[in-house]
Structure 1
Amino acid sequence: MEHVTLPAAHPLASGQTTESPLVRAYQGERGDRLPVWFMRQAGRSLPEYRELRVGTRMLDACLDPALASEITLQPVRRHHVDAGIFFSDIVVPLKLIGVDVEIVPGRGPVFAQAVRTGADAAELVKIDPATLDSVIDPITDAVGRTVAELAHLGPDSSAVPLIGFAGAPFTLAAYLVEGGPSKDHIAARTLMHADPSAWRALMDWTADVSGRFLRAQVMAGASAAQLFDSWAGGLSLADYEEHVAPASARALSHVHEISYTVRTHDEGADPYRERRHVPLVHFGVGTGELLAAMRDVGADVVGVDYRIPLDEANRRLGGDVPLQGNIDPALLFAPWPVLESHVREVVARGRTAPAHVVNLGHGVAPETDPDVLTRVVELVHELGA
């Protein structure tokens, strides 16, 4: 991809988030504050979110800039986490470019037409992913509003960074082929092997859709980007490396060449400037056997789910990759002494890695007590002091 420099007013380029605990950890540095945020923290468990969402469908909320921004900000204000995660959904870019999809309450994304054959795939990829650029304004508007508000919500009124996100190509493609949620992704894995050329075309297409979606969020003000591969855990390592990894690398390439410069120290009248790129995180569910392959697609940070201890993940990754994770969401419902012990263990195991961002090993369950999340944040900050 063509190299792009962030605008001077961007939070990374201006220095607003450059020294934030999150960005420093994503770049492999340990500071005096252990950063923490939660996947699916935007909404779900918060009463203020449920009140705001009354009468509004999920995708309509995602495409309302004021609403999406407010939902993103709610958990930052309440929990004092070290990052906002942009409120959206992985199918939003598909919706924007004209794919007929709705999010059905209690079920998830459902497509009007499943992509089951090579002909189906050929028809879908006629939609040029570049058309996303002309309809992305609701997203960039929401990001801009959010970043402006996050500028004063950090410790000592510093800026809290925003993380942009998108669904990884395999997860998007699997949804498209299955027509909706699936437990085993049989149809997707069948197409992968039965018609490799159709599968490759579909994966290249979803990679460019997701990549452009990520890129737009970063250019609008996000200080990091995360690629979610929710369904990759259903793949063998061989299938991932051959049929999925190239597309994930292609998606991340849309952001990887975006850079900014920081002044690291002064030498007389001539400050020394260092060029850096926007941090990229890759997370998958049930992907303990794929961690190295997921790093190798171009990720700076690897998210680890709750199924594998962080010190073991660090060993598998060679000991030189910042990690994110991996509190078990189920333990948020356990008695506090049980949860506290678990959080302490996660933090201790995370110390084996070059840097660590504390998170859940999956997302916040809707029934989670928000006060428990706030208490976890306080504990993590105490442990990292």
Structure 2
Amino acid sequence: MVFVLEKTFNDSFLKACLGQEHDRVPVWYMRQAGRSQPEYRKIKETHSLFDITHDPELCAYVTKLPVDQYDNDAAILYKDIMTPLPAIGVDVEIKAGVGPVIYNPITSKADVERLGEISPEQDVPYVLETIKLLREQLTVPLISFAGAPFTTASYMIEGGPSKNYHKMKAFMYGQPDAWFLLMDKLADTTITYVKAQIKAGAQAIQIFDSWVGTLNVADYRKYVKPVMERIFRELREENVPLITFGVGASHLANEWNDLPVDVVGLDWRLSIDEARQRGIKKTVQGNLDPAILLSNWSVIEAKTKEILDQGMKTPNFIFNLGHGVTPEISPDTLKKLTAFVHDYSQNNKRVTY
């Protein structure tokens, strides 16, 4: 007689999101799927990002690969923040070495009014099917995500990546009616898109507001925060952990703390201790500078210890990088880093996890 053992589900990430007791500091990495992995690079020789995301079995493989290789405590769905935009009428291409390129940039209120609505089951069925496959395959939680309206709008107005966001700011300041209409339309898209992902099986959601750090606090409160409050308030109804994250936005951390989210993601510019001193009591996620992973192990270990010693003062802590994995980072380093975080947090507990 053959006995089939059920898979053991590792829920430490979900518990940390909610500040509940767990055994060790959970680990996952932004952009952990792809980029630096040789298996992924081999796939990319014959498949574009579009090809991979439209093939649920292949996309599930890419998503699950770092969990299997590094022993991470969560998977994050392999896709791009541009994924839902073609459905609403945005002509976008992901160009290698460039990023998203928009061929019909937004310049007026009329352009905004022409944007349509997304129907996830019809427009992005491959995303939902990939999520369903992964829920059958994974023994850790699946994080999915969306781009925040400000960040997606930055590409839609600039026509692609920008160093200064001058076009976007001119649009925001000079055409406020069009700006707020655009924010509302993108919020509607985000909410509908994310709810469909949760219905398909996503167990946590991260909203990437990658470039919002270009705004000062006053402008964030006026032009962005109201729409983010609406998005998170409506997603709250789905009862999954909600994470917010941006780069170079330490001055906005307290604004994020006000939002109805469970986790505030930090980059390396703001330490965990400083965030706590500012009054951030929610779970914090971060925040090793990815560049440090190109150094020798003694440096990596010392920097990681600093972050862990600060984060482990409460159970509300998830270890991550301060931005995404870069192509130059060795998979062996990420595997060693994950093991170190797990071992160190189990052997040097500051609180009961």
For the aligned pair, the TM-score class normalised by the smaller chain equals: over 0.9
Residues in 1 aligned to 2:84 and 2:66: alpha-carbon distance in whole angstroms: 24
Aligned counterpart for 1:128 among listed residues 96, 101, 117: 117
Aligned counterpart for 1:309 among listed residues 259, 264, 271: 271
Q: TM-score, normalization: structure 2? A: 0.93
Residues in 1 aligned to 2:227 and 2:112: alpha-carbon distance in whole angstroms: 16
- The residue type equivalent to 2:162 in the other structure is S
- The residue type equivalent to 2:286 in the other structure is G
Aligned counterpart for 2:324 among listed residues 363, 370, 374: 363
| 1:246 aligned partner | 226
Number of equivalent positions: 340
Aligned counterpart for 1:296 among listed residues 236, 258, 266: 258
| 1:88 aligned partner | 79
* Compared CA separation, residues 59 and 252, structure 1 to 2 (3 A): farther
Which protein has the bigger strand share? 1
Aligned counterpart for 1:207 among listed residues 187, 192, 201: 187
Runs (4 or more) in structure 1 with deviation over 3 Å come to none
Residues in 1 aligned to 2:315 and 2:121: alpha-carbon distance in whole angstroms: 37
Instruction: Please state how far the C-alpha of 1:122 moved relative to its aligned partner.
Output: 2.2
Aligned counterpart for 1:66 among listed residues 40, 50, 57: 57
What secondary structure is seen at the aligned counterpart in 1 of 2:84?
Answer: helix
| 2:132 aligned partner | 144
- The residue type equivalent to 1:291 in the other structure is A
Say whether residues 1:282 and 2:262 are aligned partners. Answer: no
Post-superposition Cα deviations, 1:247-279, rounded to whole Å, max 9, x if no partner, equal 222222342101xxxxxxxxxxxxxxxxxx211
Stretches of structure 1 that go unaligned for 5 or more consecutive residues are 1-15, 151-158, 259-276
| 2:343 aligned partner | 382
- Whether the aligned pair in 2 keeps the contact of 1:45 and 1:365 (CA below 8 Å) is yes
- The residue type equivalent to 1:236 in the other structure is N
Post-superposition Cα deviations, 1:135-177, rounded to whole Å, max 9, x if no partner, equal 2311110001111110xxxxxxxx2000011111100111101
What secondary structure is seen at the aligned counterpart in 1 of 2:133?
Answer: helix
Say whether residues 1:322 and 2:283 are aligned partners. Answer: yes
Say whether residues 1:230 and 2:210 are aligned partners. Answer: yes
Residues in 2 aligned to 1:197 and 1:40: alpha-carbon distance in whole angstroms: 35
Post-superposition Cα deviations, 1:92-139, rounded to whole Å, max 9, x if no partner, equal 011244421010000000011110222222223xx124x344323111
Q: TM-score, normalization: structure 1? A: 0.85
- The residue type equivalent to 1:296 in the other structure is D
RMSD of aligned C-alpha atoms? 1.6
| 1:335 aligned partner | 296
Post-superposition Cα deviations, 1:202-255, rounded to whole Å, max 9, x if no partner, equal 011111212222212211111111000110110111111110111222222342
